[in-house]
């Protein structure tokens, strides 16, 4: 997040009217850097800039949904904005994924899982929906078998990503499938020797 913050700041120095960079920087400030007020201000500025430009309709809808969620802090309204995006642009993965995250925040976990499944269908090479699906099943729905399925799909999609194997290993260990869990966790450490499961840390 820190590196991304620097890149976005540099982009805004070059072009203060760069809507996408301003909105993204606001989101980073809120979600990762503990500066929610500044982040909400930047998202608000981004929306005003977009409304004053010939901004693509699809991106404007997405920005309105972002504003509704993080500036207005209206989750139901943000869910409705994302529903509009899903209906008009059904091939846009973020609207499905964001709907799932909002539904999790609203504790509507079964609906959230369905949204993440759809997001994974729309973007089969993107691992983010599967990570969210794992958290939804494993942490919130307490459906460990469904979580294992999500983890296996994640690991198959991203075999060189340590997190994929660590999530799979954890899920298997909870089910006392220890030999298979050990294999997955060892693979996570092989990929990332500084992983939190490594004895070197």
Tens digits of residue pLDDT in 139-195:
999 999 999 999 999 999 999 999 999 999 999 999 999 999 999 999 999 999 987
pLDDT tier, 96 (very low <50, low <70, confident <90, very high otherwise): very high
* H or E element at residue 194: none
- Label residue 199 by pLDDT band (50, 70, 90): low
pLDDT of residue 198: 59
Six token digits for residue 9: 């700041």
Average pLDDT over residues 86-95: 97
Asked which of 70-74, 109-113, 192-196 is least confident by mean pLDDT, the reply is 192-196
d(CA 192, CA 201): 11
For residue 66, pLDDT beyond 70: yes
36, pLDDT greater than 80: yes
* Residue-averaged pLDDT of the chain: 95
What average pLDDT does the segment 69-76 reach? Answer: 97
3-state per-residue secondary structure call for 16-40: CCCHHHHHHHHHHHHHCCCCHHHHH
Whether the per-residue pLDDT at 201 is higher than 70: the answer is no
Residue 168, judged by CB atoms within 10 A of its CB (0-12, 13-18, 19+), counts as buried
């Amino acid at each position: 997040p820190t590196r991304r913050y620097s890149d976005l700041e540099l982009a805004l120095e070059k072009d203060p009217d760069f809507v996408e960079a301003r909105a993204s920087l606001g989101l980073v400030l809120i979600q990762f850097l503990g500066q929610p007020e500044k982040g909400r201000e930047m998202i608000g500025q981004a929306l005003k800039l977009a409304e004053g430009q010939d901004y693509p309709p699809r991106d404007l809808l997405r920005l309105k949904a972002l504003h509704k969620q993080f500036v207005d802090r209206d989750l139901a309204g943000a869910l409705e904005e994302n529903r509009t995006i899903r209906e008009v642009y059904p091939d846009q993965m973020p609207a499905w994924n964001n709907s799932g995250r909002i539904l999790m925040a609203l504790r509507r976990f079964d609906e959230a899982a369905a949204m993440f499944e759809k997001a994974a269908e729309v973007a089969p090479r993107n691992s983010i929906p599967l990570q969210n699906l794992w958290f939804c099943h494993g942490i919130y729905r307490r459906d460990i078998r469904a979580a294992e399925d999500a983890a296996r799909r994640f690991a198959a999609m991203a075999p060189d990503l340590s997190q994929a194997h660590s999530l799979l290993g954890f899920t298997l260990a909870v089910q006392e499938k220890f030999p298979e869990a050990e294999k997955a966790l060892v693979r996570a450490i092989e990929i990332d020797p500084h992983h939190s499961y490594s004895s070197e840390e």
